[in-house]
Amino acid sequence: MRVAVCQLNAGTDRAANLAAAERLLTRVAEAGADLAVLPEYVDYLGPGAGLPTPEPVDGEFGSFFADLAARLGIWVIAGSFHELGPDPERTYNTSLVFDRSGALAASYRKIHLYDVEIPGRVSYRESATVAPGEQPVVVTVEGVRVGLSICYDLRFPELYRRLATEGEAHLLVVPAAFMLHTGRDHWEVLLRARAIENQCFVAAAGQTGDHEPGRTCFGRSMVVDPWGTVLGQVPDGYGSVVVDLDLDRLESIRAELPSLANRRL
């Protein structure tokens, strides 16, 4: 399977953000990607006052990426968007998966919400405006089991263990808008750890650069193999990388170092 991770700097202009995503998807489709992963909040990342009206899964956001997946003939994991939530005050942070025909193959609502208070550095309470999801999700993409997650989920290894064991995932995806101050120390370390401990490929697509006062995202989108080796990484700024996943390599690692099979819980 050929997988692409796409990196962009979404801002407050939704039309411009979607156009940037379309250009990246077109680029990776021309490079032969079977599956492309976009970042968290790919359509809007900025002040809450300008937030687009939350939509159902089959709204404007979903229709845009469904049509694009069908036109390009690739699988698309459309990062995430503000899905219409359980009450007027909160949305869901939801990732959508579209197959080559543009049909919705899966959706996942972010389970772990970013509530962090670091005096003098960052104050962010995602749970004030976002409702948590409840169900881990794994979707089969042309025979490959793909476990879904979003950004802050990355810090909770028990979710990925469920995706790998109960969900039998081969590939874990992480659309993200990882903050610069934590990303420079933790992003790659956590991605490689999730790959190693679950013996899975990991494809992580991040936002990059400044988005609003006080919010800068780290970027460095990458694909990691089950041994923890970084197979490809997007440099700073707008861009993408396309990587071939060797599924035989995954099976070889699991056979030679059967840590999943050796668990004693």
Task: Give percent of the chain with pLDDT exceeding 70.
Answer: 98
Return d(Cα 186, Cα 160) in angstroms, integer.
Answer: 17
3-state secondary structure of 66: helix
How many other CB atoms are there within 10 angstroms of residue 61's CB atom?
26
Residue 122 confidence (pLDDT): 65
How many other CB atoms are there within 10 angstroms of residue 264's CB atom?
3
3-state secondary structure of 243: strand
How many other CB atoms are there within 10 angstroms of residue 96's CB atom?
25
Residue type, 181: H
Of the candidates 6, 83, 151, 200, the residue annotated as catalytic is 151
> In which band, very low, low, confident or very high, does the pLDDT at 211 lie, cut at 50, 70 and 90?
confident
Q: Is residue 110 among the annotated active site residues?
A: yes
Residue 49 confidence (pLDDT): 81
Q: Do the bridges between strand 138-141 and strand 35-37 make them parallel or antiparallel, or are there none, so unpaired?
A: unpaired
Q: Which of 10-24, 93-107, 114-128, 197-211 has the lowest mean pLDDT?
A: 114-128
**pLDDT beyond 90 at 102:** yes
104 within 8 A of 98, measured Cβ to Cβ: yes
Q: Is residue 117 among the annotated active site residues?
A: no
DSSP string, 8-27: B---S-HHHHHHHHHHHHHH
What tens digit of pLDDT does each residue of 14-31 get?
999 999 999 999 999 999
Q: CA nearest 24: which of 12, 13, 38, 10?
A: 38
Of the candidates 6, 55, 83, 110, the residue annotated as catalytic is 110
**pLDDT beyond 80 at 243:** yes
> In which band, very low, low, confident or very high, does the pLDDT at 77 lie, cut at 50, 70 and 90?
very high
Of the candidates 40, 55, 126, 188, the residue annotated as catalytic is 40
98 within 8 A of 66, measured Cβ to Cβ: yes
Q: What is the pTM of this model?
A: 0.96
Return d(Cα 203, Cα 195) in angstroms, integer.
Answer: 10
Residue 131 confidence (pLDDT): 97
> In which band, very low, low, confident or very high, does the pLDDT at 147 lie, cut at 50, 70 and 90?
very high
Q: Is residue 197 among the annotated active site residues?
A: no
* Domain range list for the chain: 2-256
**pLDDT beyond 90 at 119:** no
Evaluate whether the domain defined by 2-256 bears CATH number 3.60.110.10: yes
**pLDDT beyond 80 at 121:** no
